[in-house]
Structure 1
Amino acid sequence: MSSTHAVRFAAVGLDHAHIFGQVAGLIDAGAEFVAMATDDPSAAVAVSMREQYPDVPVADSPEELVARDGIDLIVTAGVPDRRGPIAVAAMLAGKDVVTDKPGCVSLDQLEEIKKAVDSSGRFWSVTFSERFEVPSVIKAGELVRAGRIGTVVQTLGLGPHRIGDRAHLSGGAGRPDWFYDKARYGGILTDIASHQIDQFLWFTGARTAEIVTSTVGNFGNPDEPGLQDFGEILLRSENAQGYIRVDWYTPAGLGTWGDGRLMILGTDGYIELRKYVDIAGRDGGDHLFLVNQEGTQYIDCSGIETTYYADLLRDVRERTTTAAPQEHTFETMRLALTAQQQAAVRGAAR
């Protein structure tokens, strides 16, 4: 494939609103959106996708579209338990894959994906949007790699969410049934906490880590025991430690879906990110606070460029994995799945 070739992609699985950002990101980077298909055409997200892209053909089935010639890349935000099988089928059909997180819901699925990557020579990228699509995280990475806070020894990642967030519902009346079925969404640590694990590995430079302890619970939604509304992880690598807390408790009074934060502790300073909101403070998102031996600094990161989708298209053309190294993606999902599998269960969760 030449450097001027337009990467042709199809969307297979239209169940989560993250597909809008994925598709828009690929189009903005120069890819050509050629077709879409999904298991449930009546899902609110699928309906909205057809309305937003009325000129993009809709295939009869995901299976037919995955097998179709002339497509370079498959992007999916299907129900989480479908993402692994979609990815395997797509890679074996000669296509690279970009999937919403979680990329899979079990260690068995992860092994099948690894085998498909090895045998096909295609790549499997999980869109950890809380890093790839957040300018303040990109800026923090630049500061860390420039040595502005010394050696990173710990990250503290907070990932609160709101069940009734309208943007994620895509105009629907409420969350779909699979949202409350652990077997389908994979559990709160597999799902949300994979973001924070990705950031721990990236900021600390660790290639691998271990789960020290993990917990899941349902403390606020006893009528939906399949929903895990709280989760935490303590993890460590050879040179760093991490703590993660995720939940579904964001109150209606907050102006966005979650007060996502990341704190990065170094031997010579620290960074705090207020990714989506600075409560009772500055407007907008992407706020970065840097404290080191030279003083305290605030950086507005809203204008920082993100490169994930452009990097993906270059990876398709040049057969590289610059957007996210393949082994990093595998390890992130392995840790998330392991934390979920080992987690103590509390409250009404089952």
Structure 2
Amino acid sequence: MKRLFTGLGICLMVTGVIVSCKKEIDTSPYLRVVAVSDFTAVIQAPDNLTVKFSNKSKNAKELTWDFGDNSPVSNETDPTHTYAAPGPYTITLTIKSATGNESVKTMQVTTKPVDIIPEINFTYAEDPANPLKLNFTNQSKNGISFSWDFGDGSAVSTEESPSHAFAVAGRYNITLTAKSTTDNENTRMINIRVPKLTAPEMITIANPSFELDPKDSYVVTGWDPVKVSYPGSPGWGGFFIAERPKTGTRGLLFWTPSVDPGNGHKYELAYVGSVTQTITGLEDGKYTFKVWINSQDMEGMSLIANGGGADVKKAVGNNNGYTQLSVDFNVTGGKAKIGFLMDRPNDIGDNWSPNFEADDAELWINP
């Protein structure tokens, strides 16, 4: 009997071992790879319509980018995408891990292009059959819509390069306004003559004698010599009102104290300065600045004119008595600066006693 129980116990033990070996353990919860979707987006200059995406996800074996503008999806790791138009877009990054675990992240990005400012320019020519009719050629850049005001009370034109017939001869302000794709506007106005000029014509200027200040006989312009080292002098020099003009009662004078080196004084002979006046309301074109000049020993003195670009200069030189000098220049933008420039920045060590008088300036427009 004892042997029977012993044998039965062995059998049960073996049976238990066999049963436990056949039972399977579910290890899948411990083998699943979790995916975490993450990314950054940076809008790129200069157009501000291109976005650079950087994938920051974890455990991504597969990924899909949806850029939110109905364009094809991308499977690139770090794509760059350019949008056709500004606006808010929802970007979605979907990733899967090696075990099929999925993760999704969305982000809204607003693209807005930089402001585009139109560059306004245009030319015009008379119609061969009618001198009162002008044909305009629009040379503007970055404009998508245009508005023309011909300055004669007629209706505004939205043609890109219109033609327009004026009822009577005269001077008119022509204004072109352009708008860009970013709704930025720019305007240019020029004053033109209809029909065009056929002979030179003098423009009336308010201050032909360059009277800096009518209150005093001599008025300093507000700038000092580069060097002021002569203790016995008043300590100034430059452009002043003169009482001895060519005609009239006043004119312009450049004066500097004469220095006597025999007294041990240092020279104060270096000057940089200018006197100019600005004339507005001009039509674009070719101009001549004329002025009567009396000058001797005028190193550094020039006539100066500027019509919307670089200064145009002409040395006054030396002459005996008043001589009419002139300088030609172009005007763009309806404004001109005319006058005189003294550019003698260095003391060259001579006993300089210059003589300069200017009067009766004229401004002429040429065909």
| Superposition TM-score, scaled by structure 2 size | 0.18
Between the two structures, name the one with larger relative contact order (CA 8 Å, sep ≥ 6): 1
| Superposition TM-score, scaled by structure 1 size | 0.19
More strand by share: 2
Structure with higher Rg: it is 2
